[in-house]
């Protein structure tokens, strides 16, 4: 039995290994033969450091081709890849290292001194380095290893990665992702999104997150396609590559920034066949404006750290704004009563989204009680997301369960109110939260970002909502901010807003 995930990927590499897999920002071209040899060298370097099958390799490094080769080297060596957000502090890193107990920790050379204490406290055996240019002790070790490697046997159920959840409430949990979780999802997406060896993806996402790492990279490698590998998103740069690319995977911020670019036209995007958005909700207005400007409908999809991709709008057919499409092949989605979970809800009713399929993770690292609590007896994973399935079977995401507002005994789903507010002239975007209220338990509160140059005020929004929403859903206060707080993947951090405005209803 070979290393399952790597075998699945490499079996679909182009027969002609001289085909280009990566083009980096400096214009350097790297073939599939280079990828195979580089991954082999990294695997050899890991084994030389004492990494055994199942050992964790934690990395907090900047995006580079060498970082991708390290990921693939882990897959070939049978190690469990543990990517960490580059924004994490030494104190946060110490928690992850202590919890995961990696054999090797790879960090940026510039951060090594500040992270040494965290690695020592976690008893990490080896601390190596890798920078944004692919230089460091890890690449030096790999340079002296042979370009071939006898892959370590790993089966479908063996772990390929651990991804820590954001930890906005409680301590972060390590989602255990298996070899087949990743392989099955990549196979499904290659087919569903019609990727082939003729595709060129503009890759401007970070690679410490499932979107940029496991979705974008695995899909393009399995398709035998090419990636234009950029360190970060820059609208000018992305526009310059579109005439020779076919696809872009992004977060909603990518598309709002592209809409601000004067060069975004039907002619400029003529060569692009697919724009994909995920990791955070895409405003319906963004979807419509992008389609009007380019003639291309953004394909929005839905996934989670624990599940990889769950649903997607269709490649052929209506890519409906405000929805995330249908369950992927082999994936089952249902809507359950958010209270008991025992009652499955009919179409059109809002409840908690539950999912089952080969994409769903194995559980939380060293947290058996938490794992048991998050799965139903029949194997469905309770996502914690609120949503519904409409009469056409499109899945709609209403929000996170923890974002549900309970006011005067009534359940209020923020997305419903946000959709109404976002559709008003003069509003760029909004976030609706529940804030402690002496009379109602929680007061429905809208936080609004005005469109540039707009002077819309609280009274105007309140008048527009009156009669369109039940009275208990109407915001008791409408606040204005310059920007909504977001995490690195563009998701609005409602917990930050709740904390910021927690006292606004106090006497």
What are the pLDDT tens digits along the chain (507 aa)?
699 999 999 999 999 999 999 999 999 999 999 999 999 999 999 999 999 999 999 999 999 999 999 999 999 999 999 999 898 889 889 999 999 999 999 999 999 999 999 999 999 999 999 999 999 999 999 999 999 999 999 999 999 999 998 654 457 899 999 999 999 999 999 999 999 999 999 999 999 999 999 999 999 999 999 999 999 999 999 999 999 999 999 988 899 899 999 999 999 999 999 999 998 788 888 899 999 999 999 999 999 999 999 999 999 999 999 899 999 999 999 999 977 767 899 999 999 999 999 999 999 999 999 999 999 999 999 999 999 999 999 999 988 888 888 887 777 889 889 989 999 999 999 999 999 887 787 899 999 999 999 999 999 999 999 988 888 899 999 999 999 999 877 889 999 999 999 999 986
Number of neighbours of residue 423 by Cβ within 10 angstroms = 13
What distance in Å separates the CA atoms of residue 76 and residue 103, rounded to the nearest whole number?
A: 16
DSSP for 245-284, please give it: --EEEE-HHHHHHHHT-TT-STTTTTT--EEEE-SSPPPH
Whose CA is closest to 196, among 132, 146, 247?
Answer: 247
What distance in Å separates the CA atoms of residue 103 and residue 51, rounded to the nearest whole number?
A: 6
> What is the greatest pairwise CA distance in the chain?
72
What distance in Å separates the CA atoms of residue 169 and residue 300, rounded to the nearest whole number?
A: 27
Q: What is the DSSP letter of 474?
A: S
Q: Report the Cα 58 to chain-centroid distance in Å.
A: 19
Task: Spell out where 363-471 has E strands.
Answer: 381-389, 395-400, 405-407, 410-412, 427-437, 441-450
Whose CA is closest to 358, among 5, 11, 2?
Answer: 5
Q: How far is CA 483 from CA 282, 426, 486, 494, in A?
A: 16, 14, 9, 12
What distance in Å separates the CA atoms of residue 90 and residue 308, rounded to the nearest whole number?
A: 28
Could you tell me the pTM of the whole model? 0.87
Question: Is residue 411 packed enough to be buried (19+ CB in 10 Å), middle (13-18) or exposed (0-12)?
Answer: middle
Structure tokens at 339: 């209270």
Residue 372 CB contacts under 8 Å (≥ 6 apart), including other chains: none
Whose CA is closest to 242, among 274, 272, 264?
Answer: 272
Q: Are 187 and 8 in contact (CB under 8 A)?
A: yes
What distance in Å separates the CA atoms of residue 245 and residue 204, rounded to the nearest whole number?
A: 13
What distance in Å separates the CA atoms of residue 328 and residue 312, rounded to the nearest whole number?
A: 7
Q: Are 153 and 2 in contact (CB under 8 A)?
A: yes
What distance in Å separates the CA atoms of residue 491 and residue 493, rounded to the nearest whole number?
A: 6
Beta bridge partners of 20: 31
Query: Three-state SS for 81?
Result: strand
DSSP for 145-174, please give it: S-S---PPPB-TTSEEEEEE---SSSS--E
Q: Is the dihedral of CA 483, 424, 285, 354 positive or negative?
A: positive
What distance in Å separates the CA atoms of residue 441 and residue 321, rounded to the nearest whole number?
A: 33
The HSE-up count of residue 382 (CA atoms within 13 Å, CB side) is 21
What distance in Å separates the CA atoms of residue 107 and residue 138, rounded to the nearest whole number?
A: 10
Q: Are 350 and 416 in contact (CB under 8 A)?
A: no
What distance in Å separates the CA atoms of residue 186 and residue 197, rounded to the nearest whole number?
A: 14
């Amino acid at each position: 039995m070979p290393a399952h995930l790597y075998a699945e990927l490499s079996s679909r590499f182009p027969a002609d290994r001289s085909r280009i897999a990566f083009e980096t920002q400096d214009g350097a071209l790297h073939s599939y033969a280079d990828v195979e040899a580089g991954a082999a060298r990294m695997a050899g370097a890991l084994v030389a450091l004492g990494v055994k099958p199942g050992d964790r390799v934690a990395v907090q490094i900047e995006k580079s081709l060498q970082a991708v080769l390290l990921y693939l080297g882990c897959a070939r060596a049978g190690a469990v890849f543990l990517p960490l957000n580059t924004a994490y502090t030494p104190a946060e890193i110490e928690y992850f290292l202590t919890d995961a107990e990696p054999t090797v920790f790879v960090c940026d050379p510039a951060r090594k001194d500040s992270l040494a204490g965290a690695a020592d406290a976690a008893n990490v055996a080896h601390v190596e380095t890798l920078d944004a240019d692919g230089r460091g002790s890890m690449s030096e070790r790999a340079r002296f290893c042979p370009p071939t490697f006898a892959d370590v046997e790993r089966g479908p159920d063996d772990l390929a990665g651990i991804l820590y959840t954001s930890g906005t409430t409680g301590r972060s949990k390590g989602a255990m992702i298996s070899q087949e979780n990743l392989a099955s999802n990549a196979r499904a997406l290659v087919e569903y999104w019609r990727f082939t060896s003729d595709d060129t993806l503009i890759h401007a996402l970070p690679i410490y997150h499932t979107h940029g790492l496991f979705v974008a990279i695995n899909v393009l490698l399995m398709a035998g396609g090419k990636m234009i590998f950029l360190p970060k998103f820059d609208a000018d740069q992305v526009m310059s590559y579109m005439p020779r690319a076919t696809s872009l995977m992004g977060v909603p911020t990518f598309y709002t920034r592209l809409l601000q670019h004067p060069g975004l036209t039907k002619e400029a995007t003529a060569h692009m066949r697919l724009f994909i958005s995920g990791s955070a909700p895409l405003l319906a207005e963004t979807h419509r404006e992008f389609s009007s400007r380019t003639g291309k409908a953004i394909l929005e999809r839905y996934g989670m750290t624990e599940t990889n991709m769950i649903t997607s709008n269709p490649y052929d057919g209506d890519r409906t704004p405000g929805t995330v499409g249908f369950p992927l092949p082999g994936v089952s989605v249902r809507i359950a009563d958010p209270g008991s979970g025992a009652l499955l809800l009919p179409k059109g009713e809002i409840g908690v989204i539950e999912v089952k399929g080969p994409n769903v993770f194995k559980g939380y690292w060293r947290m058996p009680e938490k794992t048991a609590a998050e799965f139903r007896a029949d194997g469905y994973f309770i996502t914690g997301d609120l949503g519904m399935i409409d009469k056409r079977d499109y899945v709609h995401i209403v929000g996170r369960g923890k974002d549900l507002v309970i006011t005067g005994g009534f359940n209020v789903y923020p997305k419903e109110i946000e959709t109404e507010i976002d559709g008003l002239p003069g509003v760029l975007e909004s976030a609706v939260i529940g804030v402690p209220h002496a009379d109602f338990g929680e007061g429905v509160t809208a936080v609004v970002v005005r469109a540039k140059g707009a002077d819309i005020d609280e009274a105007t929004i309140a008048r527009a909502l009156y009669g369109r929403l039940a009275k208990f859903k109407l915001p008791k206060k409408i606040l204005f901010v310059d920007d909504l707080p977001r995490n690195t993947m563009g998701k609005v951090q409602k917990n930050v807003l709740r904390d910021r405005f927690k006292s606004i209803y106090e006497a």
